[in-house]
A and B are shown apart, each in its own frame.
Chain A
Amino acid sequence: MPLLKIENLSKSFGGLKAVSNLNINIEKGELIGLIGPNGAGKTTLFNILTGVYEKTEGKMTFMDRDVSGLKPYQVTQRGMARTFQNIRLFDDLSVIDNVKVAYHQRTAYSTFSALLRLPSYFSGEEEMQRKAMDLLKIFNLDDKAEETAKNLPYGEQRRLEIARALATDPKLLLLDEPAAGMNPQETHDLMNLIRWIREKFNLTILLIEHDMALVMGVCERIYVLDYGMIIAQGAPDEIKRNPKVIEAYLGEEVV
């Protein structure tokens, strides 16, 4: 049984079919790429998966359970975490507080003990502080823990967003254009980071990306989306040679 199984998934906005009849299977531990031209429906698919949009038709099974109709926070509690195409950090919170918010659902002590500062408040906060610090160390952000998130440089904001998503303890991580706006060196570092967190956290990753070097470099399997439909799937080498993909997306220069 695959970790995530999407069957005949469709979503319409009025008369526009944003995605139609998608069938995607993701096995545990895979690193899958999702590519396609602008407006192909990639982010829409993420939004349907995470409960931001409601599907029009189809079925989504995640860890053997139907996840359609859930609210975004319920999807996250089931073990699916995401990052955003346009970074959505908690700008005015410190770096470490950004991560602590993500730990909330797993380590929350009661409101009552928060109000009265009972011992469980102190132990809960200590545990969160320790976990969050450990995670920031992995992402090389520990020396900036007390800085305000919006003051971080762009690349570090992207890293913090991934760290924050990992703090929710996901089984499946959805990355929406993590390399957007990065220079080649940063993209290269990101590639290594993505590979490494997959091993370290035992993750399955679904990645939307425009940067071909990144997608071809790290993904084992790629789905190509165009006008809301899957036009090709397979290993990076097959995708590179697929004439449909070249026509729809990669253009002639790549060949």
Chain B
Amino acid sequence: MRNWFNRKNIVSLLGIVLLYAVVQGLIVFDIMPPFYKLTLILICIYIILSTSLNLINGITGQFSIGHAGFMAVGAYVSAMVTVIMHGPLLLGLFAGAVVSALAGLIVGLPTLRLKGDYLAIATLGFGEIVRIVFLNMDFVGGAAGFTLPSKITWTWAFLLMVVSVILIKNFVGSTHGRACISIRENEIAAESMGINTTKYKVMAFTIGAFFAGLAGGIYANYMYIIQPGTFSFLKSFDILVMVVLGGLGSISGGIVGAIVYTLISALLAGIPEWRLVITAVFLVVMMIFRPTGIMGTKEFGLSFLRKKDDKNAASKN
């Protein structure tokens, strides 16, 4: 346990709590306009989505473009659990995430054994199939959508986002995460170093699908209504853009990308006819001047605090 409480983790924790408290205070005292609150909760949802997609595309180096499909599975399953079966919110979110992970396993097992672009094709197809399946399921409302009460508060969204990011970060920072990165770096070398590459590709993909499902569940239980059209491939590309914008392979990049992209969308919400044009221009300029994304593969660091810790430890010895 002592390993948890180094200076770096404590400072991070304080920062997270402070951020939460400030926003919560603004909400409780009714200073925060509803549109800002909506944007903040959307940012939390998109951070989970972009971080989990980053695990697949950036860390493991596989190209998946069907994240909205997993989001849809999570959204609809959690809605079914909370509304039709009257289950508690957390159970609904968890069930959505688990079913989404199972879907990931089923899509990933056959396609990730192959080398090449098969995953991109399969996930694109999967996203569309999921959308059309829900479109034709009458007991979840079909095209008209499925209405449900909004139970997600800022506290829930923020807490679940923080937990998701920490879990994904822990995975990436472990020997299992290194195995995934080695696949991205050189698949043949990874295999000949004793890494079961298929296993780790499927594992990363399944974990990614799990958190996409969780994000979908949060989305469904916040937005009052979910419609199949929301989870089209355009949504998948939105998430992909966040990851590439922030920096493929960097957890903090995924977070920054989700924040920047959601804020741009929110700022341009008043001029919807120009929104996509301006976003596109921004992305083109970005790719010309900084093709590796805002963060590249670097992480946002409090690492200077870590160094101090090491020095302290060294001077004690």
Contact = CB atoms under 8 A, between A and B. Distances in A.
Contact of A116 (B170, B177, B178, B203): B170
Interface string B176-202: 111101100110111111111100000
A124 B175 contact: yes
A251 B66 CA distance: 59
A125 B175 contact: yes
Contact of B171 (A90, A111, A124): A111
Contacts of B193: 73, 76, 81, 101-102, 104-105, 164-165, 167-168
B195 A114 contact: no
B188 A114 contact: no
Contacts of A107: 175
Interface string A121-133: 1101100100000
Contacts of A103: 175
Interface string B3-14: 110000000000
B191 A114 contact: no
A73 B192 contact: yes
A93 interface: yes
B175 A89 contact: no
B186 A88 contact: yes
B175 A93 contact: no
B186 A117 contact: no
B273 to A, nearest CB: 41
Contacts of A81: 192-193
Interface string A205-243: 000000000000000000000000000000000000000
Contact of A109 (B4, B175, B188, B191): B175
B289 to A, nearest CB: 21
Given A73-B197, A116-B170, A50 B186 contact: no
Contacts of A124: 175
B185 A50 contact: no
Nearest to B197: A73
B24 interface: no
B111 interface: no
A107 B179 CA distance: 12
A77 interface: yes
Given A71-B196, A104-B193, 7 more contacts: A72-B192, A76-B191, A91-B186, A100-B178, A102-B193, A111-B203, A115-B170
Interface of B: 1, 3-4, 167, 170-171, 174-179, 181-182, 185-186, 188-197, 203, 297
Interface of A: 50, 52, 71-73, 75-77, 81-82, 84, 88-93, 97, 100-105, 107-109, 111, 114-117, 119, 121-122, 124-125, 128, 164-165, 167-168
Across the A-B interface, give the 7 residue pairs with the lowest CB-CB distance, nearest first: A114-B174, A105-B194, A90-B185, A88-B189, A76-B194, A72-B191, A101-B182
7 contacts: A72-B188, A73-B197, A81-B192, A90-B185, A90-B190, A115-B174, A119-B1
